[in-house]
Amino acid sequence: MGKTIQEVGIKGYVPMLVGKNNNYMEKLFLHVNLVNHPSIVSLLDNYSVEEFGYEQRGVITVPLDVQHFRRVVDSISVKAEFKLLSSPHSFNSI
């Protein structure tokens, strides 16, 4: 049986769990060309690093409203291949 997108990811994309206060997290995939963009770096510094530090293990967690994160990415995505991708499954944290 083949592996799912959540098991292997997508080539050229970085998986991230995005959600505010861990009530609802959505797994999103950010194109690698956007990871070093100043707006993304600022979000990671101001939210992820502040809450989790620089030594997060596993998927990067961004404690930010999903729609806000999407708006930031959409505003800096000038090419179609740099769009934010979503996992087919989001989840509520336990």
Q: Is residue 33 part of a domain?
A: yes
Q: What is the pTM of this model?
A: 0.74
Q: What is the chain's alpha carbon radius of gyration, rounded to the nearest angstrom? A: 13
Q: Structural domain tally of the chain? A: 1
Q: Is residue 93 part of a domain?
A: no
**Structural domain for 44, as ranges:** 12-88
Q: Is residue 40 part of a domain?
A: yes
pLDDT tens, position by position, 39-72: 999 988 888 877 777 777 788 888 899 999 999 9
Cβ neighbours for 24, distance < 8 A, ≥ 6 positions apart: 66, 90, 91, 92, 93
Q: What is the pLDDT of residue 67?
A: 92
Q: Quick one: what percent of the chain has pLDDT higher than 70?
A: 72
Q: What is the pLDDT of residue 80?
A: 46
Rounded Cα gap, residues 3 and 73, in angstroms: 27
CB 39 within 8 A of CB 76: yes
Q: Is residue 53 part of a domain?
A: yes
* 3-class DSSP state of 33: helix
Q: Is residue 61 part of a domain?
A: yes
Q: Is residue 7 part of a domain?
A: no
